[in-house]
């Protein structure tokens, strides 16, 4: 069922009056749309669509959705330089988990660097793209897709790691409550974010971690497959990984991780 975007705008502006609201019945990509118009936007912007025809995720992979799913993006300004955003993505993921608790009782896990999983498979993903920055701040477009109903498995193009796809179930009212809760958390986070903030939330992240400490995993880095054990995250939000007795850290970018028993 598609969202009533007019009604959503009314509710949204009551909670987040400083955000510009853009509701589109159809668009190729909400993130792509905001990236094209960000120079004309001095205020934060929220963009949602009922039909995203060409969504994309990390490394340009296709993001499939249907009319029951939520696909939206927002343009926000963060008061730190781009090179001090460590842990920001992980804090967004935590905000997603907390907000989805409003509309779903299913236990959710954060799979580094930017996916959410239930016990049955991937239910959500986020992509953060920088559109402008200077020595004091940066502007980001953050795209989020959440599966709220099953997608025809015959139409799914699994990525090269073969991730399982799943969904959450929620009414339209619960979806609206989730969106308002999430965006209020985002507004608070972007206004107060500072270098090192994630270290205060590392323990909370570990409670929602998709991987177990010392679990056997494979890290995929620029075409290489590296076997080892998962060692959680650093206080900066980096992946901590042990391979052949060596401790290694990774930031996101072209790096992904998979459990050995998922092969």
Contact 193, 78 (CB under 8 A): yes
pTM: 0.90
CATH classification for the domain delimited by 212-262, as one of 1.10.3720.10, 3.30.565.10, 2.40.50.140, 2.30.30.100: 2.30.30.100
Identify the pLDDT of residue 104.
84
φ and ψ at residue 135, rounded to 5 degrees: -75, -10
Contact 217, 262 (CB under 8 A): no
Residue 62's pLDDT band, with cuts at 50, 70 and 90, is low
Where are the domains positioned within the chain? 5-205, 212-262
Taking Cα atoms as reference points, which of 244, 103, 106, 223 lies closest to residue 171? 103
Q: Within 10 Å of residue 152's Cβ, how many Cβ atoms?
A: 8
Residues with Cβ within 8 Å of 60's Cβ and at least 6 positions away in sequence, in order, are none
Say whether pLDDT at 166 is over 90.
no
pLDDT tens for 63-106 read 555 667 899 999 999 999 999 999 999 999 999 999 999 888 88
Q: What is the mean pLDDT of residues 173-191?
A: 95
- Got the DSSP string for 188-218? HHHHH--TTGGGGGHHHHHHTBSSPTT-EEE
Domain 5-205 has CATH 3.40.1360.10: no
pLDDT tens for 3-38 read 899 999 999 999 999 999 999 999 999 999 999 987
Say whether pLDDT at 233 is over 80.
yes
pLDDT tens for 236-258 read 999 999 999 999 999 876 788 99
Contact 236, 112 (CB under 8 A): no
Please, what is the average pLDDT of the chain? Answer: 88
Identify the pLDDT of residue 56.
63
pLDDT tens for 124-163 read 999 999 999 999 999 999 999 999 875 544 444 444 345 6
């Amino acid at each position: 069922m598609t969202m009533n975007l007019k009604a959503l705008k009314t509710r949204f502006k009551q909670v987040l009056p400083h955000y510009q609201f853009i509701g589109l019945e159809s668009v190729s990509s909400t993130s792509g749309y905001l990236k094209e118009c960000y120079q004309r936007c001095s205020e934060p912007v929220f963009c949602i669509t009922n039909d995203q025809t060409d969504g994309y995720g990390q490394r340009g992979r296709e993001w499939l959705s249907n009319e029951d799913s939520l696909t939206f993006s927002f343009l926000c300004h963060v008061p730190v330089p781009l090179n001090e955003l460590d842990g920001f993505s992980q804090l967004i993921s935590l905000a997603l988990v907390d907000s989805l608790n409003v509309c779903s009782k299913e236990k959710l896990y954060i799979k580094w660097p930017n996916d959410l999983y239930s016990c049955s498979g991937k239910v959500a993903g986020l992509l953060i793209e920088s559109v402008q920055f200077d020595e004091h701040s940066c502007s980001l477009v953050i795209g989020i897709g959440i599966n709220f109903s099953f997608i025809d498995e015959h139409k799914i193009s699994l990525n090269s790691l073969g991730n399982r796809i799943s969904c959450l179930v929620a009414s339209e009212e619960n979806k609206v409550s989730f969106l308002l809760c999430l965006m209020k958390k985002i507004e608070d986070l972007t206004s107060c974010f500072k270098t090192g903030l994630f270290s205060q939330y590392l323990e909370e992240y570990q409670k929602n971690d998709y991987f177990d400490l010392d679990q056997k995993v494979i890290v995929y880095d620029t075409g290489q497959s590296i076997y080892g054990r998962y060692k959680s995250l650093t206080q900066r939000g980096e992946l901590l990984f042990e391979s052949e007795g060596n401790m290694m850290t990774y930031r996101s970018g072209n790096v992904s991780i998979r459990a050995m028993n998922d092969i």
